[in-house]
């Protein structure tokens, strides 16, 4: 599955295309500087500057903004990577992808595997695609700290110490605060937030010892904007966002591992079964993303071996400003977006969350993903399959 390299994204001509054109022309010093040099060192250019002083003034401002943008990006990149470089030997790196049995996670796995990179999939679902020899699948209930610890030990023994961890698994319930049960909310946080802690606690120590590696946190633009019927999801993604920021700070100040990279992904609505029925009310500025679009952005960043924040689509980068807007505007926007989840019918991998947690509390084998049946799942998958971690 080759990477998409066309001028237009898979989503077509959208707001991001306009931003791309502006970045590559008006805000690109490589384009604007030669134009200004022509106005200074050629007769026609000098005449144009005299006849069009306002346009000439704006051209100089564009160059200034472009240079400032370039300097800002340079320092951001250096600071994010602690001013130190690192090299990745892709014949030796080991990438762990949670929720990698299908969807976005599955595409990440396949893109990496096609490049000869060794990939470990942690998912309780079976793989939904033919696995290459360098793809290692481990059935794992990420909501169980005990199970994850056992599986992580198997990974280290059978494959080796992972050098890159992509926390991709996520779930959404689509219920209001009053309609959601305690276990609905607990399940959302177990998958979307707490699993990030458990996987990082298992695999980060080896990265710290080697001062080499990467942790990718797949959050969401919902970390910035909370709408009705998505409160638990947004809260869990905001927590994952904060987890990334804290992990980044601790790597630099507590673990003496400046070469361990961190990547944060804030993606918008993506057309996976998880969000079936989601009503997209801003298709130009916030278009529905293809899973491959998100997967390729993550893989490209991983292959760079650098820390960064990926915001998809680009216009979503304006959403954090919402926190500084007047409350009359914030509340109005959230109320307006109440239509987004009205027709939600996303895939419920866990049909009976109550039953699942009852089994875990009883300490039955089903809770550890060893025996049992589990409603709504394929026969023989096991009760642990009721905790399938669907790729966001």
3-state secondary structure of 263: strand
3-state secondary structure of 148: helix
How many CA atoms are closer than 13 Å to the CA of 301, on its beta-carbon side?
26
Cβ-proximal residues to 260 (8 Å cutoff; 6+ apart), any chain? 204, 207, 208, 211, 212, 213, 214, 215, 251
Cβ-proximal residues to 289 (8 Å cutoff; 6+ apart), any chain? 11, 267, 268, 269, 270, 271, 312, 313
Out of 233, 269, 278, 357, pick the active-site residue: 233
Q: Confirm if 149 and 127 have CB atoms less than 8 A apart.
A: no
- DSSP, res 370: S
3-state secondary structure of 213: strand
CB-count burial class (<10 Å; 0-12, 13-18, 19+) for 310: middle
Q: What is the DSSP string of 219-230?
A: --GGGT---TT-
The rounded distance, in Å, linking the Cα atoms of 131 and 111 is 12
- Catalytic annotation present for 233: yes
Comparing CA positions, the residue from 392, 367, 382 lying closest to residue 125 is 382
Q: Peptide bond before 112: cis, by omega within 30 degrees of 0?
A: no
Q: Confirm if 207 and 199 have CB atoms less than 8 A apart.
A: no
| Residues annotated as catalytic (active site), given as ranges | 233
């Amino acid at each position: 599955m080759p990477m998409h390299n066309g001028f237009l994204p898979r989503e077509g001509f959208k707001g991001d295309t306009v931003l791309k054109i502006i970045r590559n022309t008006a805000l690109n010093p490589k384009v604007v500087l030669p134009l200004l040099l022509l106005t200074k060192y050629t007769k026609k250019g000098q005449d144009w500057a005299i006849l069009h002083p306002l346009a000439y003034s704006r051209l100089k401002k564009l160059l200034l903004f472009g240079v400032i943008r370039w300097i800002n990006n340079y320092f951001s990149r250096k600071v994010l990577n602690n001013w130190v470089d690192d090299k990745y030997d892709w014949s030796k790196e080991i990438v762990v992808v949670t929720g990698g049995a299908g969807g976005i996670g599955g595409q990440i796995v396949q893109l990496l595997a096609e490049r000869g990179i060794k990939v470990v999939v942690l998912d309780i679902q079976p793989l939904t695609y033919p696995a290459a020899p360098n793809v290692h699948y481990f059935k794992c209930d990420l909501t169980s700290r005990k199970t994850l610890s056992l599986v992580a030990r198997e990974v280290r023994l059978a494959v080796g110490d992972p050098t890159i961890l992509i926390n991709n698994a996520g779930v959404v319930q689509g219920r209001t605060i009053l309609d959601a049960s305690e276990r609905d909310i607990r399940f959302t946080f177990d998958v979307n937030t707490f699993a990030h802690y458990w996987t990082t606690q298992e695999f980060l120590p080896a990265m710290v010892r080697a001062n080499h590696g990467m942790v990718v946190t797949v959050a969401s633009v919902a970390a910035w904007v909370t709408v009705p019927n998505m409160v638990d999801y947004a809260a869990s993604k905001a927590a994952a966002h904060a987890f990334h920021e804290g992990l980044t700070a601790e790597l630099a100040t507590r673990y003496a591992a400046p070469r361990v990279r961190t990547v944060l992904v804030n993606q918008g609505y993506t057309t996976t079964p998880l969000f079936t029925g989601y009503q997209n009310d801003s298709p130009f500025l916030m278009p529905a993303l293809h899973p491959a679009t998100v997967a390729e952005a993550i893989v490209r960043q991983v292959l760079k071996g650098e820390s960064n924040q990926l915001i998809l689509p680009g216009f979503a980068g304006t959403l954090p400003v919402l926190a500084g807007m007047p409350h009359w505007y914030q509340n109005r926007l959230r109320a307006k977006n109440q239509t987004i989840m009205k027709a939600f019918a996303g895939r419920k991998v866990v049909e009976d969350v109550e039953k699942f947690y009852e089994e875990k509390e009883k300490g039955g084998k089903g809770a550890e993903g060893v025996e049992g049946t589990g409603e709504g799942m394929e026969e023989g998958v096991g009760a642990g399959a009721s905790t399938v971690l669907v790729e966001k």
